[in-house]
Structure 1
Amino acid sequence: MLDSSDRILTTQAGSLPRTEALLQANKLWTEGEYPGGWDAFSSFLEEQVLELVERQIDTGLDIVGDGEYGKAMSSKLDFGAWWTYSFARTGGLELSSDTMWTDSNVISEPGNPQLTGFSYRRDWTAFHDAYTDPTSGVSIRSEGAKSFPKATGPLSYIGHDALAVDIANMKAAVEETGAEEGFITALSPGSASRIGNEYYSSDEEWLYAWADVLREEYQAIIDEGLILQIDDPSIAEAFDQITPEPSTEDYLAFTKVRVEALNYALRDLPEDRIRFHLCWGSWHGPHTTDLPFEDIVDLMLTIRAGAYSFEGANVRHEHEWRVWENTALPEGKLIIPGVVSHATNVVEHPRLVADRIIRYAQLVGRENVIASTDCGLGGRIHGQIAWAKLAALVEGAQLATTELWG
């Protein structure tokens, strides 16, 4: 994995805006109407990924991704493709009549945190009027279908063809453009397991079943020479999805099991080929009930990864750069802080971006900081704004490099 030994490197957190052509192709493919079938659709994806990687290189990014283009978005507004792609790649699931918006009567007890329905998030309850007002700017209800599956049998990995296309497209784009490094995202067991389960008898058994399934993606991505990014907002975000609010001690115990399942899935894989992404959820809301970063950072650092990506530009979490004043970054590890945000349409000034980068560099060492976005930009903000933010990210990193290296 590249580090910033000579200059501040730049990357992005995964999802990038889809083109109109890709959205239409996804629709036709999922409806079984794409002309030419799988081979034609795969060729189209290859072209789209190449154009996307070329644009990242032209913008000045050093470490590029496929924008999660192989993870179909239902519409321009789609906060969940990073997760929902796993449904089509996993056997043992059946479509449920429930949706992610269904109310839940699950009430946690001290010492036994349990996830509630999505609409029982404590932040959503506190700002109910805003979240239910489609003109408020904070509603996150995607425009597409919202039905979610449940497990009714043993889980198995059935996404080999789709994964092979993702890997081949990314490798071809890296080779064609001469990109310094390329990555592909994959889901964590903790995040994957937030659907219904009618088959496994315990939470731990359920989590480790997902670990066995997802390890197939992890292994394949690394074996093909690409960087693996684990997407796992659940270790921080799930705190808001437990009612009533759990104690920090109870929540960390709940989350530690999920981290252990992830580490089991990552066993024997090279840490220097793995980056881990944590966030508090990419929806545009108040986030007043987010878990403080200081409460989860030590557990995050136990994850078998060589680099850790997290939100650092979101105004609810920007102040948490101070966490690194009292937290030692392990030897040989990197941080990938977000220095431009997916949560605002305002394009950050490069000077502000540079200031954010420099704060981290002064605390953990300039060579250990790679500048990034808070979260995926695709499906969160307009594409024109997203690319302007990436340009500001690159320009800010150049300013920071000049100051940090003299």
Structure 2
Amino acid sequence: MTKRILTTHVGSLPRSQDVVDFIFAKENQQTFDQAEYDQTMSKHVGTVVAKQMDAGIDIVSDGETSKISYATYVKDRYTGFSGDSPRNAPNDLKMFPDFLDRLAKSGGTPQYARPMCTSEIKPKDCKDLDNDINNLITAIKNQNARQGFMNAASPGVISLFLQNDFYSSREKYLEVLGEVMQAEYEAIVSAGLHLQLDCPDLALSRHMLFTDISDDEFIQIASQHVDVLNHAIRNIDPSKVRVHICWGNYEGPHVCDIPMKKMFDTLMKVDAHQILFETSNPRHAHEWTVFQERKKDIPDTKILVPGVIDSTTNFVEHPELVAQRIRKFTNIVGMERVIAGSDCGFGTFAGFGAIAPDIAYAKLKSLSEGAALVS
């Protein structure tokens, strides 16, 4: 029997300015000192792991320190990407043009390279991945952290942001992405880390890319994405895998979000024991009832990791509210099958984010304090 509720989050955390400067120097193909770059990344990972520990987080990440974003980082690790993918604002933002215009004028929309797939995808080398893994493992040992996890882009989310202009079909592109990402997934787990697969393609892409089809047709596409993902992780113990579903980590209307009740069955088919999902922001806070109503359909192996703090607002949730949110899920599946998490990340894109860095860690502290109240 679990004695207390463990804590984690979705992965990305605010990066220091020197880290951001190096990331964009690399992005813009500027000359920089590689040894200084490596030292800066290693030092920052050590810092963010220490800050997570100070905030009471049990299962820690590297904050996605070296990545410019959770999805487009793959363009630097694999050949086959060039040019620029079509940019398309989510439908909910298009419905409110004044708000979309305000976002653009305030710098509220990240503008990073999103090349298309224009030739055969092949791995370059493993240096970036190896460095990320080594930096996190070192920080975990130095801080005596309980467990670490590392994020990796799912084939589906890669296809959402780095679109296909080479392979014969979307399905073929997904299949190839699954094949090339398999080695990254397995390397993370082989190092002793848990693998987190980021899958906004199972929700966000409904109102960002697949906007002209029905919900039923989208669910079929999402199921294909899950099949490809499951094949890519077929050699990995599901207890070492976490999957995160997301409707887009941005403040906005979100009136076009496909409901959790429609995606529940698809989500439960992912070969991952831990399921991370939004349940704090105002558009999805009510959806804890989906899990209550579908309790008998939640496999016994699944561990629910609800977001009990909102990643789009600088409000710091009261620990009592966090505890209330956690109890909604412990009452459904029991304490031993709930880990307290966040709705999404706090540093989705390097150098860009709605949450002030010190507030991000204050929110994580409140998360752990709320979890302690349940325990």
Question: Normalising to structure 1: TM-score of the pair?
Answer: 0.86
Aligned to 1:93: 81
Q: After TM superposition, what 4+ stretches of structure 1 lie above 4 angstroms from structure 2?
A: 31-35, 242-245
Aligned to 2:62: 66
- For residues 65 and 54 of structure 1, the distance between their equivalents in structure 2, rounded to whole angstroms, comes to 10
Task: Tell me the secondary structure at the aligned position of residue 241 of structure 1.
Answer: coil
- For residues 71 and 235 of structure 1, the distance between their equivalents in structure 2, rounded to whole angstroms, comes to 22
Partners of 1:99 and 1:146 within 8 A in 2: no
The 1:90/1:321 distance shift into structure 2, 3 A limit, reads same
Task: Tell me the secondary structure at the aligned position of residue 15 of structure 1.
Answer: coil
Q: Which one of 265, 272, 279 corresponds to residue 305 of structure 1? A: 272
Counterpart mapping for 1:156-175 below 5 A: 156-175=122-141
Letter in 1 for 2:76: A
- For residues 211 and 182 of structure 2, the distance between their equivalents in structure 1, rounded to whole angstroms, comes to 33
- For residues 35 and 148 of structure 1, the distance between their equivalents in structure 2, rounded to whole angstroms, comes to 22
**Superposition deviation, residue 296 in structure 1:** 0.4
- For residues 24 and 112 of structure 2, the distance between their equivalents in structure 1, rounded to whole angstroms, comes to 15
Letter in 1 for 2:75: F
**Superposition deviation, residue 227 in structure 1:** 0.5
Aligned to 1:322: 289
The 1:300/1:370 distance shift into structure 2, 3 A limit, reads same
**Superposition deviation, residue 326 in structure 1:** 2.1
Partners of 2:164 and 2:170 within 8 A in 1: no
Q: Which one of 12, 26, 48 corresponds to residue 44 of structure 2? A: 48
Aligned to 1:208: 175
Aligned to 1:78: none
Identity %: 35
The 1:352/1:231 distance shift into structure 2, 3 A limit, reads same
Counterpart mapping for 1:76-155 below 5 A: 81-96=69-84, 98-100=85-87, 118-119=88-89, 121-134=90-103, 140-142=108-110, 145-155=111-121
Letter in 2 for 1:88: D
- Return 322-331 or 382-391, whichever deviates more: 322-331
Partners of 1:122 and 1:243 within 8 A in 2: no
**Superposition deviation, residue 387 in structure 1:** 1.1
Task: Tell me the secondary structure at the aligned position of residue 197 of structure 1.
Answer: coil
Cα deviations by residue, 1:126-157 (Å, 9 ceiling, x for unpaired): 111211124897x7412xx4332111211112
**Superposition deviation, residue 28 in structure 1:** 3.5
Q: Determine whether 1:25 maps to 2:13.
A: no
Aligned to 1:275: 242
Q: Determine whether 1:222 maps to 2:189.
A: yes
**Superposition deviation, residue 253 in structure 1:** 0.8
Question: Normalising to structure 2: TM-score of the pair?
Answer: 0.93
- For residues 251 and 65 of structure 2, the distance between their equivalents in structure 1, rounded to whole angstroms, comes to 22
Partners of 2:19 and 2:66 within 8 A in 1: no
Letter in 1 for 2:45: V
Letter in 2 for 1:141: T
Cα deviations by residue, 1:239-296 (Å, 9 ceiling, x for unpaired): 1125655322211111111111111111121101100011101011110010000100
- Return 147-156 or 360-369, whichever deviates more: 147-156
- For residues 92 and 134 of structure 2, the distance between their equivalents in structure 1, rounded to whole angstroms, comes to 41
Aligned to 1:111: none
- For residues 43 and 243 of structure 1, the distance between their equivalents in structure 2, rounded to whole angstroms, comes to 42
Letter in 2 for 1:56: Q
Q: C-alpha root-mean-square deviation of aligned residues, in Å?
A: 1.8
**Superposition deviation, residue 330 in structure 1:** 0.9
- For residues 266 and 243 of structure 1, the distance between their equivalents in structure 2, rounded to whole angstroms, comes to 25
Q: Which one of 165, 188, 193 corresponds to residue 159 of structure 2? A: 193
Counterpart mapping for 1:339-354 below 5 A: 339-354=308-323
The 1:287/1:355 distance shift into structure 2, 3 A limit, reads same
**Superposition deviation, residue 40 in structure 1:** 3.0
